[in-house]
Structure 1
Amino acid sequence: MFDLDRWREIFQSINKNRLRSVMSGFTVAFAILLFTLLFGVANGLGNFFKGAFVDTAENSITVRVRQTSKPYKGLQTGRKIQLKNKDYEYVSKTYKNKIEYQSAIIYKNFSIKYKNEASTYRVSAVNPDYQFLEKTIITDGRFLNNRDVQEKSKSIVIGRLIKEDLFGGRPAVGKRVNVNGSSYLVIGIFSDEGGDNEERKAYIPVSTAQMIYGNNDYISQINVGYDRNLNTDAAIAFGSQIEREMRAKLNIHPDDQTALSVRNMAESNKFISTVMFALLLIITFIGSGTLIAGIIGISNIMIFVIKERTREFGIRKALGAQPSSIVGMVVQESVLITTIAGYVGLSLGTYVLSLIGNSLEEDYFIVNPSVSPEIVIGATIVLVLSGLIAGYVPAKRAANIKPIEALRGD
């Protein structure tokens, strides 16, 4: 199992041939280093794409309207398109079998005041399902419910940072705040993975906003969450169907992208999946090339080493050494160098990725570059096995040479 004398010989051989050992190790370490960096960068790009939609439900479809940019059916360009409650109800009734969640939205910017603290925040008037469409995390109290909407209650759910701005460390749920001149009861506090901007928002019932701020039935946009049982293609087709029918209902030109836009997360997810798959293929190809280069490098070095030590093997055999002991010593030395070098390359690559961190996000869209330990360890094992084979094959051939022939070798 553990032959101390053999290990002494291995370390003596490594010490005696430092340059050869360093070159062998460098080939492996450099291959693993590049492999780690390539996959880390690929994962960093994937994290950027995922982070762009971290606070939005993966099955979300958003319908927005603005002004027309094309004339249609005798209607002029520049016509303002306005969504109303009847449009919201139309979507709800027409597609009820394909919709999991649905919410209307009205965007406002209001001053929110509590005692002597006040500031202006984005206030969104929504329906209760918006909690799931926006992945809002309630940390205290509750979100809006159907009763709030039906009774047009002056209830408000505020973000974590609004709570800190206005209340500091004091409790906020159950307190009343002044919202643009009207008193609202704080019923909940929420957090959001989308970042600070998302946590400086507040939500009120859509019916309350329509009654107090305009006395109308206007809404800014419609959000729906399609049935998660729909596959990607079916979800994309569903979004296209909503767009076609809403264009027809609102008399919008089929090619007028300014007047109406439908953002379908299924399309975004499909695009991200396609990009990541293509990127993975490219990285795998380059990474495999790097590993193959490392394998070839260490193989060439081991062939040279075996040839250089042929005379030594002849002397060992003349003194009674068995071919298996010679082969075992060479293989152990090869595996030892490869393993240590692989670990060095892995450690260095991981350290560089941690050092980079999020510094490449702004210019290169790389967020938290990292690599799965399983992938890199697997690559290291491949190189170790390659080192084993690279040492075994020429060592086996050299060990089978007759002592007299080995002693005559140049």
Structure 2
Amino acid sequence: MRLSDMFSSALKGVTSNVSRSMLTMLGIIIGVGSVVLMSAIGASMKGVIVGQISSLGAKSMVIFPGKEEGGGGQVMAGFDSLTFDDLDALKKLDSIDTVAPIIFLKGTASYGREEASPQVLGVTPEHFITQVTEAEAGRLIDQADIEGASAVAVLAPDAREKLFGQSDPIGKRVKIGNNHFTVVGVTKALGTQFFQNADDRIYVPFSTVRQISGQKYLNQVTMNATQGFDLALSDVKYLLRQRHSIDPSPSASPDSSGQITEDTSKDDFIVHTSEEAGAILAGVSLGLTFFITTIAAISLLVGGIGIMNIMLVSVTERTREIGLRKAVGARGRDILLQFLTESILLTVIGGLIGMAGGLGLAFLISLFVKSLLSTYVFAVSIPSVTVAFLMAAFTGLIFGISPARKAAGLHPIESLRYE
């Protein structure tokens, strides 16, 4: 039997009862569609997280005032645990290359009739080094602004759009609270940093905010390590514990995963590193991989069982046809291959429909998520899609063997007598 005849016969068998064929393919469509959808979301989210890590800098760490309790939740202990004296001490550490303090300035930003509530940060020029931030227009905060406590501001893209739309903001004055600032620059987009929009910000000189607010404590400190994280992290924790009258060498014990961790329950500060973010990325990727694999296995198993059952019904319904073909010379192998081809064709068509549906749904989701996460970009994992499609075809082969063997083993005389 020629391959073209075999394919034509299988296609005829599939299209002879379209509604039943669609129900048969439903499990495969859902299985492949789920895998394609989740792999696309996973690839897109991986891009978001990698972008967040990149925007923090390769050797960046951040200090927050506050405590970290039980479940790893961050509890802010006011804003009085990081002082300016701490900042001066941190700058003297040999293991730290760049230190950038941050003070928040409260107040609504406005220009003309437009108002917005971006995060207003008092920063030094070092902030743009640790956060890998560049100017898209104008300039960034410089040392002269710090020394002169200048009333200047740099807008992130979203803050600029809310206040000025597409017009050029350079040289114009914005009001923040009761204070006026001249816009001197606009930064390039950073996107979302750990589910916070880093593009909805206004940067003003650190010294200016300190002068306006009279604040005596720091809200945050970002730093770059000179070389490795281990030494820098150890030095930072030791220094702050010593300065805050906390045991500089707390006891250590194994956690639930068996790793040795130190007791940080008495610390009044929290240190996060971009290395930790990398570990989070690895965990997210592993979790997504496991989730996708589980969905694929269950859905394809259900779909395969459905195909096997329907094909067995089809063999019963077409018993006389099989007997007639054998009577005119068709071999058992020809019947076997015909039903295997039909089974594989069902899963291939189901796989193609599932791929199209999964990609379409993933694209629609990306349009919605992009409004929340500006760095979210629709991405497709080609290997995952390819494997899902091949697994669908393989499912058709495996679950089609039993019905095909049953059809091939039918006796022609008894088949012709079948009613």
- The TM-score with structure 1 as length reference comes to 0.70
In the other structure, the counterpart of 1:140 is 137
Q: What does 1:358-377 align with in structure 2 at a 5 Å threshold? A: 372=381, 374-377=383-386
Residue 38 of structure 1 contacts residue 287 of structure 1 at CA under 8 Å; is this kept in 2?
no
CA gap 1:406/1:275 in 2 versus in 1, 3 angstroms: same
CA gap 1:129/1:9 in 2 versus in 1, 3 angstroms: same
Residue 117 of structure 1 contacts residue 165 of structure 1 at CA under 8 Å; is this kept in 2?
yes
In the other structure, the counterpart of 2:239 is 245
Q: 381, 395, 408: which is aligned to 1:386?
A: 395
Residue 31 of structure 2 contacts residue 295 of structure 2 at CA under 8 Å; is this kept in 1?
no
Q: What does 1:211-360 align with in structure 2 at a 5 Å threshold? A: 212-213=211-212, 219-226=218-225, 230=228, 234-235=229-230, 238-239=232-233, 241-252=235-246, 259-271=268-280, 273-306=282-315, 309=318, 311-323=320-332, 325-353=334-362
Query: C-alpha distance in 2, partners of 1:392/1:379?
Result: 20
Letter in 2 for 1:251: S
In the other structure, the counterpart of 2:122 is 125
Tell me if 1:32 matches 2:32. Answer: yes
Residue 20 (structure 1) shift:
5.3
Letter in 2 for 1:266: E
CA gap 1:207/1:357 in 2 versus in 1, 3 angstroms: closer
Residue 36 (structure 1) shift:
4.6
| Residues 134-161 of structure 1: per-residue CA shift (max 9 Å, x gap) | 4545220121234544565554323345
CA gap 1:303/1:369 in 2 versus in 1, 3 angstroms: farther
Letter in 1 for 2:21: S
Residue 37 (structure 1) shift:
5.6
Residue 111 (structure 1) shift:
7.3
Letter in 1 for 2:123: V
Partner SS for 1:94: coil
Q: 170, 191, 194: which is aligned to 1:193?
A: 191
CA RMSD of aligned residues (A): 4.8
Query: C-alpha distance in 1, partners of 2:411/2:37?
Result: 47
In the other structure, the counterpart of 1:21 is 21
Tell me if 1:65 matches 2:65. Answer: yes
In the other structure, the counterpart of 2:74 is none
Tell me if 1:107 matches 2:104. Answer: yes
Residue 291 (structure 1) shift:
1.7
State which drifts further: 336-345 or 176-185: 176-185
Residue 26 of structure 2 contacts residue 303 of structure 2 at CA under 8 Å; is this kept in 1?
no
CA gap 1:292/1:149 in 2 versus in 1, 3 angstroms: same
Residue 60 of structure 1 contacts residue 264 of structure 1 at CA under 8 Å; is this kept in 2?
yes
Query: C-alpha distance in 1, partners of 2:118/2:38?
Result: 42
The percent of aligned pairs where both chains have the same amino acid is 26
Residue 54 (structure 1) shift:
8.8
| Residues 77-131 of structure 1: per-residue CA shift (max 9 Å, x gap) | 99954511x53243233143x54x4312222236777789888865422222312
Letter in 1 for 2:298: G
Residue 348 of structure 2 contacts residue 393 of structure 2 at CA under 8 Å; is this kept in 1?
yes
CA gap 1:66/1:20 in 2 versus in 1, 3 angstroms: closer
CA gap 1:299/1:106 in 2 versus in 1, 3 angstroms: same
Query: C-alpha distance in 1, partners of 2:178/2:328?
Result: 101
Residue 137 of structure 1 contacts residue 192 of structure 1 at CA under 8 Å; is this kept in 2?
no
Query: C-alpha distance in 2, partners of 1:120/1:17?
Result: 60
Residue 35 of structure 1 contacts residue 290 of structure 1 at CA under 8 Å; is this kept in 2?
no
Residue 19 (structure 1) shift:
6.5
Unaligned runs of 5+ in 2: 68-76, 251-263, 371-375
CA gap 1:174/1:48 in 2 versus in 1, 3 angstroms: closer
Query: C-alpha distance in 2, partners of 1:183/1:27?
Result: 62
| Residues 161-215 of structure 1: per-residue CA shift (max 9 Å, x gap) | 55456655543334566778877553311244249965453323334555x4478
Partner SS for 1:243: helix
| Higher Cα Rg, which structure | 1
